[in-house]
Amino acid sequence: MMDIPRVILMVESSSGFGRSFLRGVAKYSRIHGPWLLYSEPGGPEKLLPNLKSWNANGAIIRDSRKIDSEKIISLGLPTIVAVHIKEQYFHLPTIVTDSVSISNMAAEHLLDRGFRSFAYCGVYDTWWSQARAKVFGKRIAEAGFETSFYEQPKSRTLRTWQKEQIRIADWLKSLPKPVGLMAACDNRAKHVIEACKLANLHVPEEVAVIGVDNDELLCELSRPAISSIAYNAERAGYEAAELLDKLMAGEKMAKQKIIVRPTHIVTRQSTDILAIEDPDVVRAVRFIRQHAKEPIQVNDVIKVAAMSRRGLYQRFQKALGRSINQEIRQVQVEIITRMLVETNLPISRIAMDLGFTSIDHIARYFRKEKGMSPLDYRKKYGQK
């Protein structure tokens, strides 16, 4: 009788990412195991005293200041690290988020809403926050605008929330309004929103805030609720478990990398605004977003705007830098994307619900925006 593999899971369950990731690991174990999964409800750091006695066969860990991940690594087990503090782990396989795609998605979201002033609020001593800041600033610069970056104090005593809240509030007050702001993560977005309250700034009218992680509990409990970039952490957990299974079977650890890619943006109240001065364009865009699940055409938008086709085309292009038809396509593709990732509905049903005549029709439409078919997108970003 084969021994059941013993796997250490040193990943926090207190965050949205951690909970989704662990669901993916559990799913793999349920289908391809069973495994004995060793974790501690009191927190990953509680595992350390018992590690050697547990005779584990492998480990999946998230590096943290609260735990000594090097102790796990020193055991010589097949180990995969979900990177948070250090960017490099020599020969070890790692799990990393796609900061380039994440930041570009955040920038496009704010640009699409017509903002001309931008800001980024990150976390001082994390490489991923710095990477996201760099990419966000670059994309905004490419669009012809500048980004203001919050400078977090290096001293830990100045980074207590009571002191830093005042510092962030003062920084926010100094920014030209309205401003579209990317926060490095949902926790940081929550900090920004609380600082806005201290500074008597309205969200999203004066400061529109988008976070990263789509931690649904945190985002929904915030007032206003936080818009956030979602990625499929559950899929990453499944893929990590799949790789660990191979490592425990003898495959060498050789810097294999699992990339957690963003799937879509969940728009909530914190960015539910159009920073556009032209009221006719605002009316047209609102109509498109309210009726995007219907087979609307450019003529429908022109009727709502009550002006000439030529006039609306010109003003639309000036305000948003794209055509009416491009706006319709972009909004509808966002809806298709969410349905592909968040549901198991057949593509034929999605096509029917959104007024497409066939699977081929929706596939051509979707491919023009995303560069791949709906089926390929679901395979790449959907549930395992």
Site of tokens 């003003």: 315
90 and 237: one domain? yes
Confidence of residue 160 (pLDDT cuts 50, 70, 90): confident
> Do 66 and 42 form a contact (C-beta atoms < 8 A)?
no
List beta partners, residue 94: 81, 257
124 and 216: one domain? yes
The mean per-residue pLDDT over the stretch 265-272 comes to: 93
What's 43's domain CATH number? Answer: 3.40.50.2300
87 and 187: one domain? no
113 and 82: one domain? no
189 and 249: one domain? no
What's the domain count of the chain? 3
The mean per-residue pLDDT over the stretch 252-262 comes to: 89
Angle between helices 309-320 and 298-305 (to 10 degrees): 90
Please check whether residue 130 lies inside any domain of the structure.
yes
**Confidence (pLDDT) at 357:** 87
**Confidence (pLDDT) at 65:** 61
**Confidence (pLDDT) at 70:** 65
104 and 191: one domain? yes
**Confidence (pLDDT) at 130:** 92
Q: Which of 62, 67, 73, 36 is nearest to 253 (CA)?
A: 73
85 and 208: one domain? no
How far apart, in whole angstroms, are the C-alpha atoms of residue 208 and residue 138?
A: 19
The mean per-residue pLDDT over the stretch 78-85 comes to: 83
Please check whether residue 1 lies inside any domain of the structure.
no
Which DSSP letter does residue 297 get?
-
CA distances from 149 to 201, 248, 257 (A): 18, 44, 30
Final residue in a domain of this structure, among 271, 290, 322: 271
CA distances from 233 to 139, 213, 307, 374 (A): 25, 9, 46, 20
Final residue in a domain of this structure, among 271, 296, 322: 271
Q: Radius of gyration of the chain from Cα atoms?
A: 23
- Of residues 71 and 359, more confidence is placed in 359
Please check whether residue 74 lies inside any domain of the structure.
yes
**Confidence (pLDDT) at 1:** 40
28 and 54: one domain? yes
**Confidence (pLDDT) at 308:** 85
What's 365's domain CATH number? Answer: 1.10.10.60
**Confidence (pLDDT) at 240:** 95
- Lowest average pLDDT, out of 65-74, 107-116, 306-315, goes to 65-74
Please check whether residue 122 lies inside any domain of the structure.
yes
Domain coverage including residue 18: 6-97+232-263
> Do 210 and 355 form a contact (C-beta atoms < 8 A)?
no
Percent of the chain with pLDDT over 90: 45
Q: Is the pLDDT of residue 290 over 80?
A: yes
50 and 122: one domain? no
List beta partners, residue 179: 207
Final residue in a domain of this structure, among 253, 271, 289: 271
Contacts of 268 (CB under 8 A, 6+ apart): 219, 220, 224, 225, 226, 227, 228
Please check whether residue 172 lies inside any domain of the structure.
yes
pLDDT of 104-147, one tens digit each? 999 999 999 889 999 999 987 788 999 999 999 999 999 999 99
pLDDT of 192-205, one tens digit each? 999 999 999 999 98
- Lowest average pLDDT, out of 35-39, 53-57, 144-148, goes to 53-57
Confidence of residue 37 (pLDDT cuts 50, 70, 90): confident
Please check whether residue 182 lies inside any domain of the structure.
yes
**Confidence (pLDDT) at 129:** 92
**Confidence (pLDDT) at 380:** 82
Please check whether residue 361 lies inside any domain of the structure.
yes
32 and 76: one domain? yes
87 and 186: one domain? no
Site of tokens 């830098």: 321
**Confidence (pLDDT) at 52:** 64
pLDDT of 205-232, one tens digit each? 899 999 999 999 999 999 999 999 999 8
**Confidence (pLDDT) at 159:** 66
pLDDT of 39-50, one tens digit each? 765 555 555 556
The mean per-residue pLDDT over the stretch 270-288 comes to: 85
Mean pLDDT of the chain, nearest integer: 87
- Lowest average pLDDT, out of 60-64, 218-222, 241-245, 328-332, goes to 60-64
206 and 117: one domain? yes
Please check whether residue 371 lies inside any domain of the structure.
yes
